[in-house]
Structures are given as C-alpha cells and as structure tokens.
A and B are shown apart, each in its own frame.
Chain A
Amino acid sequence: MSGLKAIKTKIRSVEKTQTVTKAMEAVSAAKMRKAQVRAISGRSYARAAVTILSHIASSRDAASHPLMATRPVARAAYVVITSDKGLAGALNSAVLRAVERDIATLGLSPQNVDIIAVGRKAHDFFAARGFDVAAYHPNTAEVTTDTMATIVNEVSHRFALGVVDLVKIGYQNFISTFEQRPTIHTVYPLSLGELARVVEGITPAKGALSENGQGNTSTKSGGVTLASVGTFDIEPSPEEVLSVILPKLASIFVYHALLETQASEHSARMVSMKSASDKAGEMEYKLSLQFNKARQAAITREVSEITGGMEAMATQ
C-alpha cells in the first residue's frame, strides 16, 4: 500500500509543476508580444537616422571621422547581452559561445578584452573565464533609455579615447517565436552597411508583426535608401553633425539589441515552458497507468488471499 501512496504523491507534484509551467508560458507569451511591439516602434527613428548619415557620408568623406575610422585592433570591447534568469533553453549559452568564438578569431587574450555585461549570465560566464568585466548592468524587466545611454557612453568614450579599437555587441536576435539566432555586430567603428542591416532586421521575419502582417506600426514602409539625393546644406559642418548623430546611431544598436534579447528571452522561455508542460502531461499519464496497475495488483492479491483462506478453511 505504501507504493500506491508514493505514486499518488508523485502524480500530485507533477500536476503542480505543470500548473506552474503553464502559467509561466502564458506570462512569457504576453511579455514577448510587448517587447516585439516596442522593438518595432523604434524603427522609424532608426531609419531616419541611417538616412541622414547616408546623406552626410556620401556628400563628404565621413570615413575620416574618429568614430568611423578603422584602426588595427590591440584591444576590443564586447557588449554582451543575456538574460538575468534561466529556464530559457539554450538562449544564453548560444550567445556566450558565439561571443567567445568571435573573440578567439581576433586572437586577443582575455586581458585585452573589455566585457560590458548586461544580464547576470554574461557577467558570471566571462568573470569565470578571466575576462575583464568592465561594467555590469542587470537585465531588468523593462528596457529603459537610461540603461541604453549608459552603455553607449561607456563604449563611445572608450573608443573615442583610443582605449579600445573595436566595439562589438553580441545578443540574441529575434527571428520568430521558435527561432532566435545569436548575432554579433560591430558598433565602432561605425559602418553604414552594418547599420542598414540592423535596421532592416528589426521587423521579425514571420508572425503578426512582420512587414506584410497586420499590426505594422512603422510609418515608412520602403527600405533604407543609401543613395544621395541632391546636395545638402550642412550646418554648422559635416563634422559637427557627425559628432551628434554617430552616438545616436550607436544607441540604435544597443537599444535594439536590448529589445531583441528581451523578445528572444521571453519567446525561448515560452517554448521551453511549453515543452515542460507537455512533458509533465506525459509523465502524469505514465504515473496514472502505474498507479492503476499497482491498485489492480493489490486488489488481485487481496482477493487471492481471501479465496486462499476460504479454501484452507473448507478443507479442514
């Protein structure tokens, strides 16, 4: 009989787990949608800024601007964005591995790499591997422009002063609910082509919020035009305009990376919670079967004991 009771307790605990994973799934689904909508609302800004840059870049030689100049890389900074919490499948480890591989291709030793970690997982990973974690920001529930501005300042400052010669950002790009891809972009030196790719990648490829789906909140639907249109009067000077607009473009990188990671985190958690719920259902079924078998066996045994007893009494 103790076997029966043990199975019953196990079934109960599996049921409770399933309730929790189902609730987490629903919460993640709602949060994912919110993050996606926010990512898309920033799109017209990104497009406008890229268009302005393309006009300046084509009218004068912008490549000579300190924030756009390529230098030989002696020291690099990586902004690595992960989540604070786990239970999201391979989400964080995929980004961390991609960044580690990327650092390896540069051939830099851990001492020559500054890590700006967003999210506890990124901090723990790189701190354990002997990298210099220069700054750490928790990946909070809401993406704020303050966090973004702080990160942009940190990297812009380092690059402008020549402390680092390359700034890259690694995050989880949201492609669809079931697909997220670790992505690494170069923030500094800024390149127009790289920016245009990021801006085009803001809209998810599939789902309700994709370009041809409903709920599209972007104001401009055409692609980013990289060609120059006429000659512009640039005031006060192209250099001054670049100094204002380049940090803004860097902030687009960071802001979207933060939002993409958030959307990816929630969708990855939603998917892993869904499979956990499914697995719990399966386990519950198996345990019920086992419980019923054990109950049957106990009844059979009792019946045979009674009949055996009767037989023994009758022969006396």
Chain B
Amino acid sequence: MKVTIAKVDQNLFSGDAISLTLPGSAGELTVLSNHAPLITTLNAGTVTVRTKEGEQTFAIEGGVLEVSRNEAVVVL
C-alpha cells in the first residue's frame, strides 16, 4: 500500500507501508492494503505508519484521509 503524508510546506512521508493507524473522526482506525475507498476527517492525535523497516509516528492537529486504489493520502 502506498502512503503519502503531506503538509502544505513539506512531505512528511511518502512510500510503501504495511499499515497506517490514524485518529479518525469516528474513532481510531487502521488502514491495511486494499481498504475500501474512504474519505474521513482526522482528529488531533498520532499517526503511525508501519513499514518493513519499522514504525514511524507523526503528531497531527487534524486533517483529512483519503483511501483509494490501494493508496492512502493524509493531508494535514
């Protein structure tokens, strides 16, 4: 699954990931490969990206997640 996490002035993460855990507006959710198309707002919290190399976390204040075609995009 391809994951992109971007802020207006910089790209925080871009690459392949196994899973993505985010603070969704309706509670915490984890996105795995081939997730159904989804658009949701995000609450303040921590985003965790698990890749083959390990885990990376990002603190966020809110944003939007879009999942489609095996690709997750987080706009902060």
Number of cross-chain contacts by CB at 8 Å: 92
State in angstroms the CA–CA spacing of A298 and B68 once bound together: 86
Q: Which residues does chain A contribute within 8 Å of B62, judged by CB atoms?
A: 244
Q: Of B14, B24, B66, which is within 8 A of A52 by CB?
A: B66
Tell me the smallest distance from the CB of A221 to a CB of chain B, in Å: 13
Decide: B39 and A234 in contact? CB cutoff 8 A.
yes
Interface flags for A35-54 (1: CB within 8 Å of B; 0: not) read 00010011011101101100
Interface segment, A2-10, A191-199, A235-243, A283-291?
Answer: A235-243
Instruction: Determine if A229 is an interface residue (Cβ-Cβ < 8 Å).
Output: yes
State in angstroms the CA–CA spacing of A148 and B8 once bound together: 10
A148 to B, closest residue via Cβ: B8
Interface flags for B44-76 (1: CB within 8 Å of A; 0: not) read 000000000000000000111010110001010
In the complex, how many residues of chain B place their beta carbon closer than 8 angstroms to a beta carbon of chain A?
25
In the complex, how many residues of chain A place their beta carbon closer than 8 angstroms to a beta carbon of chain B?
32
A-contacting residues, B1-42, CB 8 Å: 4, 6-11, 14, 24-26, 36-41
Q: Enumerate 19 A-B pairs (CB-CB under 8 Å) in ascending A order.
A: A46-B8, A49-B75, A51-B66, A52-B39, A52-B75, A55-B68, A219-B11, A229-B68, A231-B37, A232-B68, A233-B37, A233-B40, A234-B38, A235-B24, A240-B25, A241-B64, A244-B63, A248-B75, A252-B8
